[in-house]
Amino acid sequence: MLELLNEHVCHGGVQRYYRHQSQAIGLSMRFAAFIPARADGAALPALFYLAGLTCTEETFMIKAGAQRMAAQEGLILIAPDTSPRGASVAGEDDSWDFGLGAGFYLDATQAPWNMNYRMESYIRELRELVIRELDVDARRVGICGHSMGGHGALTLALRHPELFRSVSAFAPIAAPSQAPWGQKAFTGYLGADRAAWAAHDASALMAQRRTPFPDGILIDQGLGDQFLDTQLYPEVFEQACRGAAQPLRLRRHAGYDHGYYFIMSFIDDHLRFHTKNLKALAD
């Protein structure tokens, strides 16, 4: 059951914010949905957007300016929160890069996080919920994300290609096993076994695949990004794609940093990319 918290008319469609009880998380969760106008009432394709560290379900919808192009393309936008809220796990708000706002889109296996920090299962649950409640076309669901959310988009697409048929990212944590953010999260949520880490590392996953997305993957990376050399490692993912014969457009942009001015500059390209890929599935 969805509880509508508020809604706003936007570019001829409607921007909504919902709350619902999640079985995967065991708590109530919030998400945002932009739903463009429907001329014939038909089910529409959808794009999941996974936000980065410290963000909420509101961040992308408020800052990215994606609704205009989504309305033009007839694309539903879904933005979940970045972690459970209200789990009351000791230490979950001690740092900004682990715990609250930093669920890393995986299912924790280590206590006490494994009780509620089950974000991979939650994203799958939310996908089924919006298909049922918001008339999303189940055949045409893509996924995109930024930073921690870029990591989530890449890994969830690679782990569940039957669920997410198109994938892109902005400045993703592309090799989290090599990055301080990823190492901290993986140790806390998954423990010390690096084999468990590899199952949630986009570069390691890609190295085990063979052309999982033949229509390509799109990544945009700012060269003025303060985290590029220490946290993101797009070149590692790029090399893994070469080995997997995976078409990849990794666009490097001089001057752009890690924030939403960067995302709003190129979000239209990502929406068109997903629309093209998802439309082909309906033809």
pLDDT digits (tens, 9 = 90+) for 206-249: 999 999 999 999 999 999 999 999 999 999 999 999 999 999 99
Of residues 220, 234, 215, 222, the one with CA closest to residue 274: 215
Q: Is the pLDDT of residue 283 over 70?
A: no
pLDDT tens track for 124-172: 999 999 999 999 999 999 999 999 999 999 999 999 999 999 999 999 9
In contact, 75 and 46? CB cutoff 8 Å: yes
Partnered with residue 6 across adjacent β-strands are: 17
Confidence of residue 100 (pLDDT cuts 50, 70, 90): very high
Q: Is the pLDDT of residue 91 over 70?
A: yes
Q: Is the pLDDT of residue 70 over 90?
A: yes
In contact, 70 and 271? CB cutoff 8 Å: yes
199 φ/ψ angles, rounded to the nearest 5 degrees: -70, -10
For the question of residue 147 being annotated catalytic, the response is yes
Strand order in 136-146's β-sheet? Answer: 3-10, 13-21, 28-35, 76-80, 44-50, 136-146, 166-170, 217-222, 248-253
Which among 83, 147, 168, 203 is annotated as catalytic? 147
Whole-angstrom CA distances from 216 to 79, 143, 207, 219, 244 are 23, 13, 16, 10, 12
Task: For residue 104, give the 3-state DSSP assignment.
Answer: coil
Is the pTM value of this prediction over 0.85?
yes
**DSSP calls for 49-65:** EE--TT--TTHHHHHS-
Residue 99 has a pLDDT of 98
Cα–Cα distance for residue pair 54/187, rounded to 1 Å = 19
Residue 188 has a pLDDT of 98
* CA count, 13 A, side-chain hemisphere, 18: 22
Confidence of residue 1 (pLDDT cuts 50, 70, 90): confident
To the nearest whole number, what is the mean pLDDT of the chain?
97
Which among 151, 200, 258, 274 is annotated as catalytic? 258
Whole-angstrom CA distances from 199 to 107, 143, 190, 196, 270 are 11, 18, 10, 5, 26
| pLDDT-above-90 percentage for the chain | 96
For the question of residue 258 being annotated catalytic, the response is yes
Cα–Cα distance for residue pair 222/231, rounded to 1 Å = 13
State both tokens at 120.
Answer: 């991979």
Average pLDDT over residues 100-112: 98
Which among 81, 146, 225, 274 is annotated as catalytic? 225
Confidence of residue 190 (pLDDT cuts 50, 70, 90): very high
Average pLDDT over residues 92-111: 98
Q: Identity (one letter) of the amino acid at 258?
A: H
